[in-house]
Structure 1
Amino acid sequence: MESHSITPEASINEAVNLDISLDKSLNKESSRDDDEIPIHGEHSKLTENISPLDKTINNYINESKTEEGQDDTKEEWLDILGSGQLKKKVLKPAENNFRPSRTWVCKVNIEGCLTDGTFVEKLNNFSVQIGDGEVIQGVDLALPLMDVGETALLEVGPRFGFGSLGLAPIVPPNATLLYTVELLSAEDEPELAILPASKRKVIGNRKRERGNWWYTRQEHTLAIQCYRRALDFLDESTGETYVDDDPRTNKTSEEDLNSLLEDRLKVYNNLAAAQMKIKAYDAALQSVENVLRCQPENVKALFRKGKIMSAKGDNANAVAAVRKASQLEPDSKMIRQELLRLVSLRNEDNKLEKNLYKKMLGQKNKPQETNINSKKQIPWGMMLGSMAAVVVGVAAFKYRFM
């Protein structure tokens, strides 16, 4: 059966650019980059030709409509977090007690819907790495509590589903979701040092794309998590980095390493954008510096460096970075506007510094002038006193001998 999904890549707004270039504003000026999201169709088309919902989900919907006194299913649910926001019910128990751990790679069948039965997504034989944000949080958190071979029904509250944003036009804001999850297999994360470069590139870029999906949903912490995991797979300096599955005969060429490096720099640029959103400016600065160390004329990195430096209060260096970006892309209206803004801020800083210096120098000069004046007055006082004494003495002498 064909799989349909709205996550992680499909049916996101066509204007979204996976490189999140220059905080969306620059995207309007430039043509679509070669790393844009592939559009697999609008949401309205996803509901066409879809098989009926899983019978267990229909049973849940019917059970929820029964009177509360007749509902005997409550005891069968496991409240995973104790908050009622994520519950699990075993539909088909496994034959063993083998559970996956964080970072393990699992093969799953997933089907999701709203509580009224509206279809959301269906994924067959889908590969997901636990803890890497490759599915909605509710499913990600439930997988380590499932045995291989088990099928479970999940009731996912808004916090661990699509939240207050929903996913228009199918999922409304603050919607509760129902997911059936069948855990087909689970294995430990592959060793990166011997993983072929072609596979590392695919996995790394998939995690980068998922990070961008979270970014567009303003889930910046989850986006950062995906970007960091993408960097692990796109690190061209890790191990031998082989091209294919036979490391004895086919090692990575320079072209393959450069390709990994290009993708890695894209991730760093995106990582900086997400870090800026949570005001982690020191970390964001490190991310753009990693890009500029390899590509000193990377316009996006220069632009973001300028914004970061300004946020840190260093408008002089911010102007320098954005001015260089403007020289590289003189036709960019967004960069010109940002440069004007930063120059204005820098000029204001210079005025404040000058006024501060004047005040500091003024406070030092006044006491000095007072001291100088007082020193000048001391000889005149002594001279006047001496003259008065002489006059008095002369007068007394004349009075005595008259």
Structure 2
Amino acid sequence: MDESGPNMGPNGSNNGDLNSFEIVNKADVEEINEDLGEEEWVDILGSGHIKKKILKKGEPDTRPQRGDLCVVSGFGKLEDDTIVETFDNLEVCVGDLELVHGMDYVLPLTEAGEECQVEITARFGYGDKGDPTKNIPPITKLYYSLTLHSVLPDFDLAELSVEKRLDFGVKRKTRGNWFYSRGDISFAVQCYRRSLEFLDSANMNTNDASQELLDSLIKERVHCSNNLAQAQMKLGSLEPALISLNNVLSLDPNNIKAMQRKAKVLSERNEVDEAIGILKQAQRLLDTLETDTDDATVLSKLSGDKKLVQSELKALYAKLKSNTAAEKEIYKKMFSKPLAGGPDDQEPDKKSGPAGSFNKLLLMLGITAVALLTAGGFWLRLYHPDLFSEYLWNVD
């Protein structure tokens, strides 16, 4: 990490891991705020990427911390004063990447009731891709007007209604999808993980929730976990991806997409037999679904899924065959290696004929006898230690 912030992806795009992302050191925040006055620009990171100027001071000792819920309003504009985004009384959690990335550095330095101006370069804004949907060009500096209305510190997820948690979860999943589409995979993973914290029903009061709402909650958890697995696979994090896929299949055992992805993960871990088993299960499920419907659209999708599964199975069988051949070759080399001092060290005329064959036979019998005696000794020692000690170690 350089002095200007989190690691960047190719071409300067944001691609940091917010699990280890420190917004601002607490001591630095206090020091900055002591010197922070009206009509003064403060370079938050010391690199010129994020600058802030207070227009109206807020209430002392009300700065939010990571995870706190804030209500903010404001707008962002280009250098020519073209407004490209607005937000009014928007609820955001510090560190959840709900606004442009640089705002997660600004909010911990802002007090409730404060009004300020913020300048954010492309590195902590929309990167080298910009955002065509907002008419933000690539590599563009943005100028924000920001008001922090209120801060709800340390809010308890368990106290939020099911509707609110579903809403928060879906928003973060959607944000993760946006980062994934831009190639910012680490940020996507962070958003998906945060989304699942809201969608997890383990610490949720669902007594008054309708069945329809609960079904929506499970559906979103399945989608988000599946997306998380795909992002983790992109990063090469196979073990976390496998956990995410198992979570999907625990909620939706017939999820074909999760089965295919799990087979891919297992294949990359060289667990080919298990991968084949998963795809065979998916194949049987697709056959059943195909016989249970007459809908042309559904049948067309099932047909496409079946072709994909068959193609993946074919590739796995080829890999299994290749692995088996490689293992045989290794065993062949292991057992065909000449033994020092054995018959292969003798002169050719002494190895050929009945005498040579008899010597080889004796050698093989001797090796087998030693192996059997050793295995028997270990077996006795393991399963009959008392007998073993009395029989082998006691002296008359």
Q: Does 1:344 align with 2:321?
A: no
Q: Conserved in 1, the CA contact under 8 Å of 2:102 and 2:120?
A: yes
Q: Which moved more, 1:331-340 or 1:78-87?
A: 331-340
The alpha-carbon deviation at position 298 of structure 1 amounts to 0.9
- 1:207 maps to 2:180: no
SS of equivalent residue, structure 2 residue 247: helix
In structure 1, stretches of 5+ residues that fail to align are: 1-74, 243-250, 381-402
Matches within 5 A, 1:177-192: 177-192=142-157
Note the alpha carbon deviations across 1:29-71, whole angstroms, 9 max, x for none: xxxxxxxxxxxxxxxxxxxxxxxxxxxxxxxxxxxxxxxxxxx
SS at match of 2:304: coil
Structure in which a larger fraction of residues adopt helix: 2
The Cα shift of 1:112 comes to 0.9
Identity of aligned residues (%): 38
Out of 69, 79, 90, the position equivalent to 2:54 is 90
Deviations 1:274-294 (A, max 9, x none): 111111111001110111223
Q: Classify 1:263/1:377 alpha carbon distance in 2 versus 1 (closer, same or farther; 3 Å).
A: closer
- Tell me how far 1:326 sits from its aligned partner: 4.2
The verdict on how the C-alpha distance between 1:363 and 1:260 changes in structure 2, with shifts beyond 3 A counting, is same
Contact 1:152 1:180 in 2 (8 A): yes
Which amino acid is the alignment partner of residue 331 of structure 1? Answer: G
Query: Where does residue 95 of structure 2 map in the other structure?
Result: 131
Q: Is the 8 A contact 1:241 1:252 kept in 2?
A: yes
Q: Deviations over 1:308-339 (max 9, x none)?
A: 12222333333333343344244324444433
Cα distance in 1, alignment partners of residues 160 and 338 from structure 2: 69
**Using a 3 Å threshold, how does the CA distance of structure 1 residues 379 and 281 change in structure 2: closer, same or farther?**
closer
- Sort the Cα spacing of 1:379 and 1:143 in 2 relative to 1 into closer, same or farther, 3 A: closer
* Shift, 1:137, TM fit: 0.7
Contact 1:271-1:287 at 8 Å conserved across structures: yes
Query: What secondary structure is seen at the aligned counterpart in 2 of 1:137?
Result: coil
Q: Deviations over 1:198-223 (max 9, x none)?
A: 22212211211111111111111111
Q: How many residue pairs align between the two structures?
A: 299
CA distance in 2, matches of 1:156, 1:102: 20
Q: State the Cα distance separating 1:377 from its structure 2 match.
A: 6.4
Aligned 1:99-178 pairs, distance under 5 A: 99-168=63-132, 170-178=135-143
Q: Which has the higher contact order (CA 8 A, sep 6+)?
A: 1
Q: Return the TM-score normalized by structure 2.
A: 0.68
Aligned residue number for residue 282 of structure 1: 239
Structure 1 range deviating more: 256-265 or 99-108? 256-265
* Counterparts of 1:379 and 1:221, CA distance in 2: 66
Deviation per residue, 1:218-251 (Å, 9 max, x gap) = 1111111111111111112215334xxxxxxxx3
Cα distance change, pair 338–110 in 1 and its aligned pair in 2 (3 A)? farther
Write the letter of the residue equivalent to 2:355: K
1:293 aligns with 2:244: no
Matched, 1:260 2:208: no
Work out whether residues 193 and 241 of structure 1, in 8 Å CA contact, stay in contact via their aligned partners in 2.
no
**Residue type of the alignment partner of 1:203:** F
Superposed structure 1 runs of 4+ greater than 4 Å apart = 253-256, 364-369, 371-375, 377-380
* 1:361 aligned onto 2:318: no
Give SS of 1:331's match: helix
